[in-house]
A and B are shown apart, each in its own frame.
Chain A
Amino acid sequence: MLPLSVKDDEYKPAKFNLLLKLSGWFRSILADKTSRNLFFFLCLNLSFAFVELSYGIWSNSLGLISDSFHMFFDCTALLAGLAASVISRWRSNDSFSYGYVRAEVLAGFVNGLFLIFTAFFIFSEGVERALEPPDVHHDRLLPVSVAGLLVNLVGIFVFQHGGHGHSHGEEGHGHSHSLFNGSVNHGHAHGGHEPESKHGGHGHSHDGHAGHGHSHDGHAGHGHSHDGNGGHGDSHSHDELRTPGKGASKQILQGVLLHIIADTLGSVGVIISALLMQKYDLMIADPICSMLISLLIGVSVVPLLRESIGILMQRTPPSLDQALPECYQRVQQLQGVYNLQDPHFWTLCTDVYIGTIKLLVAPDADRRWILSQTHNVFTQAGVRQLYVQIDTAAM
């Protein structure tokens, strides 16, 4: 009988101190490596946009101003990623009983959508321009796009390197521990290192990254499963705190990285077409470049979008697709189990799977044994949270 209402009373008074909140946010941003990277890169991007804007206003060049607004729009992707990485670490409360971990999936989805929009706009513009190539002033184009390219290259380097060092080196582990110690304040993070669940998480992470080509993400998933165990030991009644601090950012990182790569490709395209236009006077190079780039962006976003839509629609996790029928069979073969009904399995966030099933059992069956065996079976398959409702068959 946990007094649930007491918590509400505690939370309400601490609402007003904006400064405290801001500093808290700031600290939590800096605490995690992913969000720190995101934050610094956002700052870099914003400052670049501001410099561009002020220079544009000063020199009264409309092109620069509009480009800087475009940069601001690009920053929204980073902002979304940053917000998601902060939000996803919020504790769960009464309303959001699973916590806010899904924010990261949502952020990936939003980023992907934005990219699709952008690609579409660029494509339509490219078609328009291919039909009647306008006179592009390429005198100021080159320096701006080179600068943008540099900024974006820094971004790519940081994020790829970040994901990399994270997953492989010892640093990643030490870091994640410190994260948990810092933000959750529980000493016994090691308590929950059970080999079985670690194994499940690991096995899954190999399946999970198959669709992507980001081999590092898969390893990040491994690192994450450690985290999950670490976090899992620290709460008494809140299972959902197992949810990760680190590997969680897979979706965010993927979305942000895609966005930055798209931007980089855009700058490269502009540079190439500017060069072509200057040297050979091929006016059609610009629209063709932009169309190619938009196609590339569109194609590269599709996996991310498909995955995040699957998660948001409570799809059965693709990595469990193969394992589940076998599990059903094993459960149905348990003594006393008549039938298995309403199996629902879905992904909460990266690598955290939740399932509910209903079992129809014989009246004289040993329910406790069945329950624990069922949990056993599905835990081995990698399902973190399982709800088994056992109904007695009406005889």
Chain B
Amino acid sequence: MEDKYSSNVLSRGKLGMVEVPNSRLTRYIVLLVVTKVLKALGIFESYDILKVVHIVQFIFILKLGSAVVLLFFQKPFSSGKVISKRQWIKLLKHAVFSCVISLLGFFGLTLCGPLRTLLLFEHSDVVVIALLGVLFTSSGGGPSKTRGAALFIIAVICLLLFDNDDLMAKMAEHPEGHHDSALTHFLYTAIAFLGVADHKGGVVLLVASLLLKVGFHTASRKLSVEIGGAKRLYALDNLVSAIVLLPWVVVLSLTTDSKVESWSSLILPFGMIILSVTILEFYVEAICNTKMETPRCARYGAIALFLSALLLANFWTHPLTDQLRSMSKPPQQVSTEHVLSGGVIVSAIFFIMSSSILSSPSKKGQKGTLVGYSPEGTPLYNFMGDALQHTSQSLPRFIKDSLKQILEEYDSRQIFYFLCLNLAFTFVELFYGVWTNSLGLISDGFHMLFDCSALVLGLFAALMSRWKATRIFSYGYGRVEILSGFINGLFLMVIAFFVFVESVSRVLDPPNINTDMLTPVSVGGLLVNLVGICAFSHAHAHAHGGKTCPSNDHGHSHHGHSHSEHGHSHGGHGHGGHGHGGHGPPPGSAGGGMNANMRGVFLHVLADTLGSVGVIISTILIRQFGWLIADPICSLFIATLIFLSVIPLLKDACEVLLLRIPPEIEKELNSALEKVEKIEGVLSYRDPHFWRHSANIMAGTIHLQIMAGVVEQRIVQQVTAILKDAGVNNLSVQVEKEAYFQHMSGLSTGFQEVLAMTQQMESMKYLNDGTCIM
């Protein structure tokens, strides 16, 4: 509540969060990040140490060391109130629990390796509580939180399933070497009982202990109040747990023989671990939690921690770092390091995203901007503007909406279906390639995926062009279609150029191609692309059919496309026919700027088809006759063909972008302008600008000079009607009477212009009554 009133009315900040200027917080953030990096370092170091030191001993040393330091700093006995006996018992329970949790955590560390432990175990309480809230309560906090929870779960699953760590599998085969004590043996058998592999058991263990830890922290809050502060509790807790662990350690060190050669060499790493993992982190987090909001602190900390963990995991085993660590590192080097697999990276990214989503404060009650107080004293909010746009949107609903939009219209539907087909083909190819381990197939699959980007661009443009006009884009987004067509065309040109260069260099030096894999793949690609050509050429003809244009070219091209046997010559031919229609002067060129987007996509598909055909032909030629030169020549030919077929599209798009008068209505416009001049009362016109904005918006502006005594409104209506008949549907007419120029001469219009205009009018023997006005 209080922050609602403290929020400044002028500062437009969102309600609920008092925005502290970032500059003041920077040092805390830097401190936090540094601490987290140090912590990651400490965890990595402790993983190395845990290979030699027994886990219970390790934890004992850790607790003892931090207890000593904390006692020194915190002085829990000399300050604060006296602790009663009941509180001592509670403290003992608390310490036992914390020992168990650290045991589980560090045992997970030995199983999973430092990176995975950091990813799984070191989540802030805020994140986990938000996650549990989403999972187990009905009001999780909106779709964004749900998204975060889904990401979190996906990340865990990624670690569980897709993390094929070879070394872990190797270790799992002979885990006997690690069975030092009853405890580890017990844990191992428990994991084996679960029936999962070793490191996967570790993942499960870590998740369980993470939940335990969060529950433990929440439960210990009350105790910390009783004892007198979290810091005091922490210090006492460390001490008590060290005492609890003491008998066990004594027994252990008596019964088993230690693997450590010299404890003295371990002092430095232990000190570093104690400092970074337990003490520094605790204090810094406490400071940051008081200075910033907890969620924000959690977010920065998590991101820093995960990123540094990823980096460290990459460089920890690097020979360079080995040199650096050689003095402080225990002298052992078995090749059992956990590798950085793709699954881990993916899950790390997901973890980062999910923790930043989950730790973002919930949006309730802060959508509006406080604009003031009503006379009754209740706050008034402004829900306009940014606040509304920033509300999180449910992802499934978003997908549903955009799908509905896509399927609404013919063009985007075609593109979408073809995109799906293409993607399916690509994925089949990729999977098959991965399965048979063929590099050629995989690279071809990626190439196909890249080609899909043109389709995606087209789809996006088709969607975007239907957006409503806004204040900023006052004519609407229709031009996106033309831009997308232009980009696709340019793209094709670049590709054609590179293919050309490549094939020139291959003509000079024909390489040896193995042709066995090529044919089935290229035939498959050809089939897919033929389907696309059929679909899009249909759309093409359809779009043209909508406009009433009596042109033979279209019938021809349509006819040509409906044959689907010899794709190569026919494709080029059909398109050539169209291109001809495109820039011929007769009115048959109604398709000139019609839908550049679809044309671009069509050309792209056509180019792909030509590519497949070329590959097939050259494969056949190479196989039959052994002409190795057939391949580059084919590609030369195809590159030229693509190049030529793109030119009309580019030319049309350029003309539209350069604001040319649309060629298809040029004649009508001229006759319309003649008609305008003949309207009674119109002296002349100047600056007639007409240009096509998008497929269905034709904009125009014109200045009219009219006689003094004529009603302007009538003239404007007449002119608008005439030009609307000619196809201009977004017109603005500025009507000028003579006196206007007297005004304008004092402003920005050139004096010469006015002079010329008045001279012209005088010469036409019209009354100049403008002088009497002003």
Query: A residues touching B (Cβ–Cβ < 8 Å)?
Result: 1-2, 62, 65-66, 69, 73, 94-98, 100, 102-103, 106, 110, 113-114, 117, 188, 191-192, 194, 196-197, 232-240, 309, 312-316, 321, 342-346, 348, 356-358, 367-369, 371-372, 375-376, 379, 384-392
Is the beta-carbon distance between A312 and B483 smaller than 8 angstroms?
A: yes
Q: Can you list 12 pairs linking A and B with CB atoms under 8 Å apart?
A: A73-B497, A97-B687, A113-B487, A117-B494, A236-B756, A356-B732, A367-B735, A372-B740, A375-B744, A387-B732, A387-B733, A390-B735
Closest residue on chain A to residue B677 by CB atoms? A1
* In contact, A96 and B748 (Cβ under 8 angstroms): no
Q: Does B666 reach chain A (CB closer than 8 Å)?
A: yes
Q: A96 — which chain B residues lie within 8 A by C-beta? A: 658-661
Contact with A along B684-699 (1 / 0, CB 8 A): 1011111101000001
Interface string of B492-517 (1 = CB under 8 A from A): 00100110010011001100000000
A-contacting residues, B455-476, CB 8 Å: 471-475
Beta-carbon nearest neighbor of B443 in chain A = A128
Q: Does B147 contact A (CB under 8 A)?
A: no
A197 to B747, CA, bound (A): 8
- Interface size of B as a range: 35 or more
Shortest CB distance A301–B (Å) = 14
Q: Within the assembled complex, what's the spacing in Å between the Cα atoms of A345 and B753? A: 24
Which residue, of A100, A194, A235, has the highest number of chain B Cβ atoms within 10 A?
A: A194
Q: Which of A66, A191, A371 contacts B751 (CB 8 A)?
A: A191
Q: Is the CB of B732 within 8 A of A391?
A: no
Q: Are B753 and A110 in contact (CB under 8 A)?
A: no
Task: Determine whether B122 belongs to the interface, using a CB cutoff of 8 Å to chain A.
Answer: no
Chain A residues within 8 Å of B750, by CB: 191-192, 232-233
Chain A proximity of B271: nearest CB distance (Å): 34
Tell whether B254 is near chain A: CB-to-CB under 8 Å.
no
B661 engages A66 (CB within 8 Å): no
For B684, B686, B747, B751, the residue with the greatest tally of chain A CB atoms inside 10 Å of its CB is: B747
Q: In the complex, A66→B508 CA distance in Å? A: 12
- 18 new A-B pairs (CB below 8 Å) besides A117-B494, A233-B752, A376-B747? A1-B677, A96-B659, A97-B690, A114-B490, A192-B752, A194-B748, A197-B748, A234-B752, A238-B687, A312-B657, A316-B473, A342-B474, A342-B732, A344-B475, A368-B739, A371-B743, A387-B701, A390-B735
Please tell me if B716 contacts chain A, counting CB pairs below 8 Å.
Answer: yes
Complexed CA–CA distance, A1 and B732 (Å):
20
Residue pair A313, B752 in contact (C-beta under 8 Å):
no
| Contact, CB under 8 Å: B743 / A316 | no
Please give, as numbers and ranges, the residues of chain A lying within 8 Å of B494 by CB-CB distance. Answer: 114, 117
Interface centre among B490, B497, B508, B701 (most CB of A within 10 A): B701
| CB-based closest 9 A-B pairs | A372-B743, A356-B732, A389-B732, A387-B701, A69-B501, A236-B756, A344-B474, A197-B748, A313-B479
Q: Are B732 and A368 in contact (CB under 8 A)?
A: no
Contact of A314 among B474, B497, B701, B756 (CB under 8 A): B474
- Contact between chains at B661 and A236 (CB < 8 Å): no
Asked whether B351 is an interface residue with its Cβ less than 8 Å from the other chain, the reply is no
The reply to whether the CB of B734 lies closer than 8 angstroms to some CB of chain A is yes
Are B659 and A97 touching (Cβ within 8 A)? yes
Whole-angstrom distance between the alpha carbons of A385 and B501 in the complex? 47
CB distance A315 to B756 under 8 Å?
Answer: no
- A65 near B505: Cβ-Cβ < 8 Å: yes
- Tell whether B60 is near chain A: CB-to-CB under 8 Å: no
Q: Which residue, of B661, B748, B773, has the highest number of chain A Cβ atoms within 10 A?
A: B748
For A384, list chain B residues within 8 Å (CB). 748
**Is the CB–CB distance between A95 and B657 below 8 Å?**
no
Interface string of B721-763 (1 = CB under 8 A from A): 0000000001011111101100110011011110011000000
State the CA gap A240–B703 with chains docked (Å). Answer: 13
Provide the residues of chain A in CB contact with B702, threshold 8 Å: 387
Closest to A100 in B: B658
Q: Are B472 and A106 in contact (CB under 8 A)?
A: no
Tell me the B371-404 residues at the A interface (CB within 8 Å).
none
The chain B residue sitting closest to A325, CB to CB, is B471
Q: Would you give the shortest CB distance from A203 to chain B, in whole angstroms?
A: 14
B684 touching A2 by the CB < 8 A rule? yes
B773, A368: Cβ atoms closer than 8 Å: yes
**Which residues does chain B contribute within 8 Å of A192, judged by CB atoms?**
750-752
B191 part of interface (Cβ distance < 8 Å): no
Chain A residues in 8 Å Cβ range of B483: 309, 312-313
B687 touches A239 (CB 8 A): yes
Best-buried of B483, B504, B734 by chain A (most CB within 10 Å): B734
A62-B505 in contact (CB<8A): yes
| Least CB distance, B319 to chain A, in whole angstroms | 12
Closest to B654 in A: A106
Contact of B703 among A103, A117, A188, A387 (CB under 8 A): A387
Contacts of A348 in B (CB 8 A): 659
A239→B713 CA distance, assembly (Å): 25
A368 to B684, CA, bound (A): 18
Nearest Cβ distance between residue A65 and chain B, in whole angstroms? 6
Cβ 8 A contact of B688, one of A97, A343, A356: A97
Q: Confirm or deny: B553 has a beta carbon within 8 angstroms of a beta carbon on chain A.
A: no
User: Complex Cα distance A345/B703, Å?
Assistant: 17
Kindly identify which residue among A95, A97, A313, A391 contacts B716, using a CB–CB cutoff of 8 Å: A391
Known contacts A368-B739, A371-B743, A375-B748; decide if A97 and B487 are in contact (CB<8 Å): no
Q: Inside 8 A of A368's CB, which chain B residues have their CB?
A: 737, 739-740, 743, 773
Q: Is the CB of A188 within 8 A of B743?
A: no
Query: What is the distance, in angstroms, from B429's C-beta to the closest C-beta of chain A?
Result: 18
Across the interface, which residues of A come within 8 angstroms of B753, CB to CB?
Answer: 235-237, 239
A343 to B505, CA, bound (A): 55
Give chain A residues whose Cβ lies under 8 Å from the Cβ of B313. none
A392 touches B479 (CB 8 A): no
Distance between B361 CB and nearest chain A CB, rounded to angstroms: 30
Distance in angstroms from B444 CB to nearest chain A CB is 14
| List of A residues within 8 angstroms of B654 by Cβ | 106
How far, in angstroms, from A382 to B564 measured CA to CA in the complex? 57
How far does the alpha carbon of A282 sit from the alpha carbon of B10 in the complex, in Å? 56
Assess the B475–A314 pair: CB atoms within 8 A: yes
* Residue in contact with A313 in the complex, picked from B480, B508, B687, CB distance below 8 Å: B480
Given contacts A97-B689, A314-B479, contact A371 B491 (CB under 8 A): no
List the B side residues contacting A237 at CB < 8 Å.
686-687, 753, 756
Q: Complex formed: what's the CA distance from A94 to B688 in Å?
A: 9
Question: B107 at the A/B interface (Cβ < 8 Å)?
Answer: no
> How far is it, in angstroms, between the C-alpha of A315 and the C-alpha of B479 when the chains are bound?
10
The answer to whether B471 touches A102 (Cβ under 8 A) is no
Of the candidates B477, B659, B686, B699, which one forms a contact with A102 in the assembled complex, judged by CB atoms under 8 Å apart? B659
Q: How far is the CA of A238 from the CA of B483 in the complex (A)?
A: 29
Is the Cβ of B666 less than 8 Å from the Cβ of A392?
A: no
Q: List, in ascending order, chain A residues with CB within 8 A of B733's CB.
A: 387, 389
| A314 touching B658 in the complex, CB below 8 Å, given contacts A236-B753, A239-B687, A368-B773 | no
A234 to B752 CA separation, bound complex (whole angstroms): 8
- Indicate the member of B472, B658, B683 with the most A CB atoms within 10 Å: B658
